[in-house]
Structure 1
């Protein structure tokens, strides 16, 4: 009994250790060898990354990913420091000073402060990018799954109508390869069945738990219930396909309305707004405000405000716009 339990535990660990070969995986392993002794005892502080790593299909366990995050942060910080030592005295210090305080000459203290500030910001940004990347990757996979799910479910309903076993439905999705991440998730389900000896219900449960898409997880859980109760799988998939098409239609309508609001905000903030600021700063200059302050406001708007605003609107439209 004890031996069987230990064997089952080993099988579960083997199932959970889903790996793909590549540079990122090798880099993570190398980093874990270097920093594993520091990371392993502090993994509880990074536990919230575990689920996004699985849902994002990132081929590293938590310890290896955290080690890669720390190593990359250190490397980027060192490189940023060395580059800043060269770039800041040459031209970057003068450029930043002309924006912040043009009346004050550049000195050693200013350059040194700027070097350390750039180094710290670069290192912290690298750490934060690694922190949010699994969630971003999981969200991206969720979006791709949702985009392909409606057509995939309709295909599944058609195949189920032929009376084939449910596992063959997922095998067909893998063979088609035109459903992107849905085919990828189907391949994992078949891998659990064929290579790890799980039955269909167990494989579907694991797939539902690791899927980044709530819609796909819901589909799998309902398929499990239908299979267990002996229901009509074809009828369920047909109804689910119709429901997903209705959800997609509603999302498209909502996205169109949101894009309209974003367009109005764009005109107000990035077309009318800068003109208003320039007019106001000109009036302030005429009324006796220091020209250095006027130039500072204009430079901040032109060099920082507008580029950041454009980037934010591009990201917002990309996230909201319906994709096909």
Structure 2
């Protein structure tokens, strides 16, 4: 814990500890993401940070609203209710208070939501990394098992091999349960399998537990799993390339041909209508400066979220 997290925990830690059951999913995500911050510290930091961000944004926006007299820029036309006329003389005060309250709620709420979502996002990133590196890690495990190395030592050596990414991290947690907490291998596998975000890793560890408990040939199990996951990886890559081809065709159709079609149609309509009006350039501005950039960003985010970890 750093000094800020320690301050937040001392301020709200006991209250947040009493609400553990309300944040069961967050606690699971923190464990799956392998974040080293305890739940009470994390949620206390989230609450304090949200309040601070909300207060700072409220003060800044409220100052600019008051200094620039933005509420006074609102003009009324036609008949308005007498109540509105009465309160219009206090528009600067009321407008500033409104901006302060909205800023506090919006920016504070957004900060709190980011804190709540971050562990889930981190766990999802770890899941993709584990799924991508697990076949190679199992090949490494199979080689060591064939050489006669004990299962506990196998996971310990895998944990010392950072080239296997997050699969090595899971192996280090298995070794930690054995070396530091004194648990046997089956209990260590059970604990890590319950907290890992990867379905593949969970199945692999549970299968290892079953093979060890039944006295089966662990080397054959590792070899079969290595072949299975290698085949699944090839199938996943093939499906990804097919989906990527479909997305690229959709991008060309929607963002290239589609926008050109809209621009040409609007230009023809403008000529037919006798030169058009102010709506024509505004429509073109919307296509060029909004539709094309935001559409491209959407496609980039979609492809990035679908791309397997390397």
Q: TM-score range by the shorter chain?
A: 0.7 to 0.9
Among residues 49, 56, 64, which one is paired with 2:26 in the alignment? 49
Q: In structure 2, do the counterparts of structure 1 residues 228 and 262 end up closer, same or farther at CA, with 3 Å as the change threshold?
A: same
CA contact (8 A) 2:58 2:99 kept: no
Please give the alpha-carbon distance, in whole angstroms, between the structure 2 residues aligned to 1:121 and 1:274. 35
Among residues 266, 269, 277, which one is paired with 2:254 in the alignment? 269
> Which runs of structure 2 are paired with 1:1-324 in the superposition (5 Å)?
23=2, 26-85=3-62, 120-278=105-263, 283=269, 286=273, 291=278, 301-324=287-310
Residue aligned with 2:216, SS: coil
What is the CA-CA distance between 1:311 and the residue it aligns to? 2.2
Q: TM-score, normalised by structure 2?
A: 0.79
Please give the alpha-carbon distance, in whole angstroms, between the structure 1 residues aligned to 2:100 and 2:255. 32
Gaps of 5+ in 1: 1-21, 98-106
Please give the alpha-carbon distance, in whole angstroms, between the structure 1 residues aligned to 2:280 and 2:123. 45
Q: In structure 2, do the counterparts of structure 1 residues 233 and 308 end up closer, same or farther at CA, with 3 Å as the change threshold?
A: same
Q: In structure 2, do the counterparts of structure 1 residues 187 and 29 end up closer, same or farther at CA, with 3 Å as the change threshold?
A: same
What is the CA-CA distance between 1:153 and the residue it aligns to? 0.2
Q: In structure 2, do the counterparts of structure 1 residues 29 and 297 end up closer, same or farther at CA, with 3 Å as the change threshold?
A: farther
Please give the alpha-carbon distance, in whole angstroms, between the structure 1 residues aligned to 2:296 and 2:55. 31
Q: Which of 301-310 and 174-183 deviates more?
A: 301-310
What is the CA-CA distance between 1:36 and the residue it aligns to? 2.9
For 2:79, the equivalent position in structure 1 comes to: none
For 1:13, the equivalent position in structure 2 comes to: none
For 1:12, the equivalent position in structure 2 comes to: none
Deviations 1:165-216 (CA, angstroms, capped at 9, x unpaired):
1101112212332212111111111111111110010001001011111101
Please give the alpha-carbon distance, in whole angstroms, between the structure 2 residues aligned to 1:180 and 1:233. 23
State the structure with more CA Rg: 2
Q: In structure 2, do the counterparts of structure 1 residues 53 and 85 end up closer, same or farther at CA, with 3 Å as the change threshold?
A: same
Q: TM-score, normalised by structure 1?
A: 0.76
Residue aligned with 2:183, SS: coil
Deviations 1:140-162 (CA, angstroms, capped at 9, x unpaired):
11111111111110110111112
CA contact (8 A) 1:259 1:321 kept: no
Q: In structure 2, do the counterparts of structure 1 residues 312 and 87 end up closer, same or farther at CA, with 3 Å as the change threshold?
A: farther
For 2:86, the equivalent position in structure 1 comes to: none
Residue aligned with 2:36, SS: coil
Please give the alpha-carbon distance, in whole angstroms, between the structure 2 residues aligned to 1:46 and 1:216. 25
Q: Which of 201-210 and 273-282 deviates more?
A: 273-282
Please give the alpha-carbon distance, in whole angstroms, between the structure 1 residues aligned to 2:19 and 2:56. 26
